[in-house]
């Protein structure tokens, strides 16, 4: 730590010490690094900080944008019984929109909004749009957001009471899509953490989930970027490619020990010529063995497990390599993205039989093993 500069919220020019005394503590929600510039999304503020010179002991912002909730939204928020400290604008989405602008969403006193901002001046460009299904209402709720191919992929809750969890696609030229509403097969509870990365043609998102047994398990979900939704009868305006699977980060032994809480995930990195994600896992906070663990999960096995032979137990296996799978309704394999040259060139041409199968089978039977079937690094007695 002593070698690195810190950011405590001050600007380039020094003001009198009186000025600092009234300053609020930072409440940093998001950070985004673009080359040698860092954007920091705070509560009611957005900062642009240069990472040069690297030798200074304190980083200072070049630009600060104050973006508060408007008084009307604050009064409605208070009327609905929220605390004053929650009825503010927490920056929960901070993304590069194009080479000159950022896409930013804030909770805006439980009425989320999004807008474009200049990367250079941090000034808003154009009007704001609703942040519903793009940004959480409550600053405490987990969310993820990713821009790719001009489309915005978000995972968050869509309502004040945080009942409806979605993975949502919007903006761009393709139709708006969401996950099935109020279906416990798709989402049982709110994810408590999430990351999104995109891989070749598909983005996918890990999120730890509660299973039926109220045991935390680490799951990843994936959707095809080119999904066009289903038919008018089944999965209209909903994902036809949503799939989730458990990540298996465990220590083999007589009593197999699972690390079930994902703490953090990297982007896809190459390791020994193989695309993998590295994830830090831990046990639930109340377990007696506190040990963060690093597992390596082979990326290619996340969307596609298998091939499963006839002895494969109950449900089904995934994957694009063609192999016969008994219980599938037809030649289409769940997990494959429809594409020109495939049997179905668009998800909107899937027969209802396939759509119904996808709707009722969002969870993969097999979990995703880590490389070497064991953690890479384990640290005990530390959080």
Residues that bind ligand NAG (CB under 6 A): 69-70, 97-101, 108, 113-116, 125-129, 214, 248, 250, 252, 256, 284, 286, 340, 345, 367, 369, 373
Minimum gap (Å) between residue 304 Cβ and ligand NAG: 16
Cβ neighbours, 10 Å, residue 130: 14
Nearest to 334 by CA among 319, 346, 352: 319
- Give the residue nearest to ligand NAG (CB): 116
Based on CB atoms, which residue is closest to ligand NAG, 75 or 100? Answer: 100
102: exposed, middle or buried (Cβ count in 10 Å: 0-12, 13-18, 19+): buried
The first and second tokens of residue 97, run together, are 């929109």
Minimum gap (Å) between residue 172 Cβ and ligand NAG: 9
Minimum gap (Å) between residue 71 Cβ and ligand NAG: 9
Give the DSSP letter of residue 349.
G
Minimum gap (Å) between residue 20 Cβ and ligand NAG: 27
Based on CB atoms, which residue is closest to ligand NAG, 66 or 324? Answer: 66
Based on CB atoms, which residue is closest to ligand NAG, 99 or 254? Answer: 99
Q: What is the Cα–Cα distance from 45 to 275, expressed in whole angstroms?
A: 37
Minimum gap (Å) between residue 102 Cβ and ligand NAG: 8
Based on CB atoms, which residue is closest to ligand NAG, 20 or 309? Answer: 309
Q: What is the Cα–Cα distance from 375 to 383, expressed in whole angstroms?
A: 17
- State the DSSP string of 83-132: -TTTSS-BEEEEEEEETTEEEEEE-TTTS-EEEEEETTT--EEEEEEE-T
Minimum gap (Å) between residue 379 Cβ and ligand NAG: 20
Q: What is the Cα–Cα distance from 227 to 17, expressed in whole angstroms?
A: 56
Based on CB atoms, which residue is closest to ligand NAG, 59 or 335? Answer: 335
Based on CB atoms, which residue is closest to ligand NAG, 22 or 340? Answer: 340
**Cβ atoms of 7 and 1 closer than 8 Å:** no
Minimum gap (Å) between residue 215 Cβ and ligand NAG: 8
- β-sheet bridge partners, residue 146: 153
Nearest to 130 by CA among 161, 172, 158: 158
Q: What is the Cα–Cα distance from 294 to 269, expressed in whole angstroms?
A: 14
Q: What is the Cα–Cα distance from 240 to 230, expressed in whole angstroms?
A: 6
Minimum gap (Å) between residue 326 Cβ and ligand NAG: 20
Based on CB atoms, which residue is closest to ligand NAG, 16 or 288? Answer: 288
Based on CB atoms, which residue is closest to ligand NAG, 62 or 130? Answer: 130
Minimum gap (Å) between residue 136 Cβ and ligand NAG: 15
Strand ranges across the sheet with 124-130: 91-98, 101-106, 113-118, 124-130
Based on CB atoms, which residue is closest to ligand NAG, 75 or 324? Answer: 75
Label each residue of 246-285 as H, E or C: EEECEECCCCCEECCEEEEECCCEEECCEEEEEEEEECCC
């Amino acid at each position: 730590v002593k070698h690195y500069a810190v950011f405590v919220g001050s600007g380039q020019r020094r003001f009198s010490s009186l000025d600092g005394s009234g300053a609020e503590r930072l409440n940093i929600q998001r950070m985004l690094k673009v080359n040698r510039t860092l954007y920091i999304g705070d509560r009611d503020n957005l900062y642009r900080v240069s990472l040069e010179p690297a030798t200074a002991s304190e980083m200072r912002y070049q630009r600060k944008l104050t973006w508060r909730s408007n008084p009307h939204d604050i009064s409605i928020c208070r009327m609905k019984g929220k605390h004053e400290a929650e009825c503010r604008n927490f920056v929960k989405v901070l993304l590069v929109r194009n080479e000159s602008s950022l896409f930013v969403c804030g909770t805006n006193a439980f009425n989320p909004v999004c807008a474009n901002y200049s990367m250079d001046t941090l000034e808003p460009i154009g009007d704001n749009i609703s942040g519903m299904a793009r940004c959480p209402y409550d600053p405490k709720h987990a969310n993820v957001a990713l821009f790719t191919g001009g489309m915005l992929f978000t995972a968050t809750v869509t309502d004040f009471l945080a009942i409806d969890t979605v993975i949502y696609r919007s903006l761009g030229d393709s139709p708006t899509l969401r996950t099935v509403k109020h279906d416990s097969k798709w989402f049982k509870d709110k994810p408590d953490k999430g990351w999104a990365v995109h891989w070749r043609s598909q983005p996918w998102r890990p999120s730890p989930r509660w299973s039926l047994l109220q045991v935390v398990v680490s799951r990843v979900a994936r959707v095809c970027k080119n999904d066009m939704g289903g038919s008018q009868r089944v999965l209209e305006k909903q994902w036809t490619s949503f799939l989730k699977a458990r990540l298996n980060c465990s220590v083999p032994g007589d009593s197999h020990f699972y690390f079930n809480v994902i703490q953090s995930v990297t982007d896809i990195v190459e390791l020994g010529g193989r695309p993998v994600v590295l994830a830090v896992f831990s046990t639930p906070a109340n377990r007696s063995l506190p040990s963060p663990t690093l597992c390596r999960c082979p990326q290619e096995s996340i969307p596609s497990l298998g091939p499963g032979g006839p002895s494969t137990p109950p449900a089904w296996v995934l994957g694009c390599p063609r192999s016969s799978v008994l219980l599938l309704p037809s030649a289409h394999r769940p997990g494959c993205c429809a594409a020109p040259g495939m049997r179905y060139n668009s998800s909107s041409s899937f027969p209802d039989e396939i759509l119904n199968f996808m709707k009722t089978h969002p969870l993969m039977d097999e979990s995703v093993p880590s490389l070497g079937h064991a953690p890479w690094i384990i640290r005990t007695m530390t959080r």
